[in-house]
Amino acid sequence: MKISFWALVMSCLFFLSGFEIVHAESMVAVQAVGVESNESQAVESAKRQAVEKILARFLAPSKDPNSDFQKISARYREFVGGFEITKKQKSNGKISIYSKVQVDAEKIQSTVQSLGKSAQELNEDLEACFLIRVVGSNDNARVYRSCNDSFQRMGFRVVNSDEVLTQIDGDSSSEKFFDRLTQLVYQDFPEITMAVIGEIEVEKSGEDGANSIVHLRAIDMLSRRVIADFQETYRARGSNSDESIMLVLDKSAKNSSETLADKSINYFRKEGSR
């Protein structure tokens, strides 16, 4: 069936129970872009951006120059290994350097821990990316509202991420879709600590009915552990097929997002108490 749209939700979780950091890989390849007035400055900017993406796994981001985040960020050269320029672009007197940076995530983790911070102080604002592919309907706003409401009630802060959306292959099968997005987020967006990946497929059933198939997974991207796997089918009947599609979308998005939000919070609370 032809894919008619994508619904993308980015969510950030704030809670006070803390988080136990999973042991980091040593060297991680990070995509970063530096935009400055000359090439050498753009290269340094890209390196620092890459380090900050990894640092955000272990320490709450802050723009305060006196914060631990900025103090460690200023030492970015200590954590950079290989550096590869993949593209250069000039525009309006600025040069953009697109790059792949090798970052020592294990060293960053050790540096954060050496500050003597407790697990409760680390990563108080876990970031979670929700990528939901919808097949068979154009009403992505309805799915977005349901997911947004469910996760906000559980303490999530919702933001968008077009950068992930532009790199998604919309024609892949469900399993390839899961695998592709998991790998994409893990490799290219290391600042994302949790992702919910999956699809909702809807279709008309007769003149006044509609069916849906929902399959979503919540994944801890630090350990690549599946937090919860939600699979369900739904039916709805309205005054006509369009109303039935609307009703089954509401039911699918509401039930799946509420279940995954609840299980994700319980998961991170359990991790933080260890």
- CA gap 135, 51 in Å, rounded: 37
* Residue recorded with tokens 């050498």: 40
**Per-residue pLDDT, 181:** 82
In terms of Cα–Cα distance, which of 128, 123, 151, 155 is closest to 19?
123
**Per-residue pLDDT, 109:** 84
Structural domains of the chain sorted by starting position, each given as residue range(s) with its CATH number in brackets: 5-19+122-272 (3.40.50), 27-113 (3.10.28)
Helices (H), the chain: 39-58, 68-73, 105-113, 140-153, 162-165, 174-188, 241-272
Q: What is the reported pTM?
A: 0.57
Tell me the two tokens of residue 22: 């999973």
Q: How many CB atoms lie within 10 A of CB 152?
A: 13
SS3 content of the chain, % helix, strand, coil (to 5): 40, 35, 25
Could you tell me if 115 and 98 are in contact, meaning their C-beta atoms sit under 8 angstroms apart?
Answer: no
- CA gap 46, 99 in Å, rounded: 7
**Per-residue pLDDT, 36:** 93
- CA gap 245, 243 in Å, rounded: 5
Phi first, then psi: give them for residue 143, nearest 5 degrees: -65, -45
CA angle 177, 154, 151 (to 5 degrees): 35
Show pLDDT as tens, one digit a residue, over the chain (274 residues).
Answer: 444 433 333 333 333 233 333 344 578 888 889 999 999 999 999 999 999 888 877 777 778 888 888 999 999 999 999 999 999 999 888 999 999 999 998 899 888 888 755 433 444 455 667 788 888 988 877 877 777 777 666 666 665 555 666 666 566 676 777 888 888 887 777 777 778 888 999 999 988 899 999 999 988 877 788 999 999 999 999 889 889 999 999 999 989 988 988 888 778 767 654 5
